[in-house]
Amino acid sequence: MLVRQSSPSQHTTVTIAGVPVGGPSMVVIAGPCAAESETQLRTVAECLTRLDIRLLRAGVYKPRTSPYSFQGLQDEGLQLLHDIKRAYGLGIVSEVMSVAHLERACEVFDCFQVGSRNMQNFELLKALGQVRKPVLLKRGLAATIEELLGAAEYILAGGNQQVILCERGIRSFDPSTRNVLDLGAVALLKRLTHLPVIVDPSHATGRRELVIPAARAAVAVGADGLIVECHPVPQQSVSDAAQALSLDELEQLVCETARVAQAVGRQLPCPVERAA
Amino acid sequence: MLVRQSSPSQHTTVTIAGVPVGGPSMVVIAGPCAAESETQLRTVAECLTRLDIRLLRAGVYKPRTSPYSFQGLQDEGLQLLHDIKRAYGLGIVSEVMSVAHLERACEVFDCFQVGSRNMQNFELLKALGQVRKPVLLKRGLAATIEELLGAAEYILAGGNQQVILCERGIRSFDPSTRNVLDLGAVALLKRLTHLPVIVDPSHATGRRELVIPAARAAVAVGADGLIVECHPVPQQSVSDAAQALSLDELEQLVCETARVAQAVGRQLPCPVERAA
Amino acid sequence: MLVRQSSPSQHTTVTIAGVPVGGPSMVVIAGPCAAESETQLRTVAECLTRLDIRLLRAGVYKPRTSPYSFQGLQDEGLQLLHDIKRAYGLGIVSEVMSVAHLERACEVFDCFQVGSRNMQNFELLKALGQVRKPVLLKRGLAATIEELLGAAEYILAGGNQQVILCERGIRSFDPSTRNVLDLGAVALLKRLTHLPVIVDPSHATGRRELVIPAARAAVAVGADGLIVECHPVPQQSVSDAAQALSLDELEQLVCETARVAQAVGRQLPCPVERAA
Amino acid sequence: MLVRQSSPSQHTTVTIAGVPVGGPSMVVIAGPCAAESETQLRTVAECLTRLDIRLLRAGVYKPRTSPYSFQGLQDEGLQLLHDIKRAYGLGIVSEVMSVAHLERACEVFDCFQVGSRNMQNFELLKALGQVRKPVLLKRGLAATIEELLGAAEYILAGGNQQVILCERGIRSFDPSTRNVLDLGAVALLKRLTHLPVIVDPSHATGRRELVIPAARAAVAVGADGLIVECHPVPQQSVSDAAQALSLDELEQLVCETARVAQAVGRQLPCPVERAA
Model confidence band, residue B276 (pLDDT cutoffs 50, 70, 90):
very low
Q: What is the pLDDT of residues D21-48, one digit of tens each?
A: 999 999 999 999 999 999 999 999 999 9
Question: In chain B, which residues have their Cβ closer than 8 Å to the Cβ of A141?
Answer: 142
Could you read off the pLDDT of C196-221 as tens digits, one per residue? 999 999 999 999 999 999 999 999 99
Answer whether residue A21 shows pLDDT above 70: yes
Cβ of B219 within 8 Å of Cβ of C220? The answer is yes
Contact D122 C63 (CB under 8 A): yes
Among residues C11, C28, C86, the alpha carbon closest in space to that of C245 is found at: C28
**Over residues A167-178, mean pLDDT:** 96
Other beta carbons less than 10 A from residue B126's beta carbon: 18
Q: Give me the count of residues in chain B.
A: 276
pLDDT at A44 over 70: yes
Q: Which of A188, A182, A158, A184 is nearest to A169 (CA)?
A: A182
pTM: 0.97
Query: Is residue C102's pLDDT more than 50?
Result: yes
Nearest CB to B177: which of C169, C176, C185?
A: C185
Do C63 and C239 meet the contact criterion of CB atoms below 8 Å apart?
A: no
Looking at per-residue confidence, does A238 or A43 come out higher? A43
> Average pLDDT of chain B?
96
B176 part of contact set with chain A, CB < 8 Å: no
Q: What is the DSSP annotation of C46-63?
A: HHHHHTT--EEE-BSS--
With contact defined as beta carbons under 8 Å apart, do D182 and D141 qualify? Answer: no
pLDDT in tens, B212-225: 999 999 999 999 99
For the stretch D239-275, pLDDT in tens is 888 999 999 999 999 999 999 999 999 998 777 655 5
**DSSP-based three-state secondary structure for D59:** strand
Q: Given a cut of 50, is residue B50 above it in pLDDT?
A: yes
Q: Which of residues 131-170 of B touch D (CB under 8 A)?
A: 142
Q: Model ipTM? A: 0.96
Whole-number pLDDT of residue D276: 47
Nearest to A263 among D145, D205, D262 (CB): D262
C160-199: pLDDT as tens digits? 999 999 999 999 999 999 999 999 999 999 999 999 999 9
Q: In this predicted model, what pLDDT tens digit does every residue of D113-133 receive, in sequence order? A: 999 999 999 999 999 999 999
* C173, C180, C264 ranked by CB distance to B184: nearest: C180
Proportion of chain A above pLDDT 90, given as a percent: 95
Residue B130 has pLDDT above 60, yes or no: yes
Of B98, B99, B117, the CB nearest to A120: B117
pLDDT for the residue numbered B268: 87
Which residues fall within 8 angstroms of residue A245, CB to CB, at 6 or more apart?
A: A202, A208, A211, A212, A228, A229, A230, A231, A234, A253
* Residue closest to D136 by CA, chosen among D64, D75, D200: D200
Q: Is the pLDDT score of A84 beyond 70?
A: yes
Average pLDDT in the C6-26 region?
96
pLDDT at position D142 is 97
- Report d(CA B268, CA B160) in Å as an integer: 28
Residue C247 class from Cβ within 10 Å (0-12 exposed, 13-18 middle, 19+ buried)? buried
Residues 6+ apart with CB under 8 A from D173: A142, A144, A170, B142, B171, B172, B173
Q: Do A175 and C172 touch (CB under 8 A)?
A: no
Report how far residue B15's alpha carbon sits from residue B162's, in angstroms, rounded to the nearest whole number: 8
In the A/C pair of chains, how many CB contacts fall below 8 A? Answer: 8
Residue B192 has pLDDT above 60, yes or no: yes
- Asked if B39 is an interface residue toward chain A (Cβ–Cβ < 8 A), one would say no
The yes-or-no verdict on residue B269 having pLDDT over 80 is no
Q: D90 near D124, Cβ under 8 Å?
A: no
Q: How far apart are CA C178 and CA D219, in angstroms?
A: 34
Q: What are phi and psi of B147, to 5 degrees?
A: -70, -40
For chain C, state the CA radius of gyration: 17
Whether residue A276 is predicted with pLDDT greater than 70 in this model: the reply is no
Please answer yes or no on whether D121 and C122 come within 8 Å at the CB atom.
no
Nearest residue of B to residue A96, measured between CA atoms: B123
Q: How far is B66 from chain A (nearest CA, A)?
A: 5
Residue D219 binned pLDDT confidence (cut-offs 50, 70, 90): very high
Does residue A270 register a pLDDT over 80?
Answer: no
Examine the pLDDT at A244 and tell me if it is beyond 80. yes
Instruction: Tell me what percent of the residues of chain D surpass a pLDDT of 70.
Output: 98
DSSP state of D160: -
Three-class DSSP category at C267: strand
Cβ atoms of A160 and B67 within 8 Å: the answer is no
Neighbors of chain B by Cβ distance (3+ pairs < 8 Å): A, C, D
pLDDT at residue A165 greater than cutoff 90 = yes
Q: Is C203 helix (H, G, I), strand (E, B) or coil?
A: helix
Q: For the purposes of burial, counting CB atoms within 10 Å of the CB of C226, is it exposed (0-12), middle (13-18) or buried (19 or more)? A: buried
Answer for the pair B242, B207: CB distance below 8 angstroms, yes or no.
Answer: yes
Determine how many CB atoms are found less than 10 A away from the CB of residue A197: 26
CB contact under 8 A, A172 and C173: yes
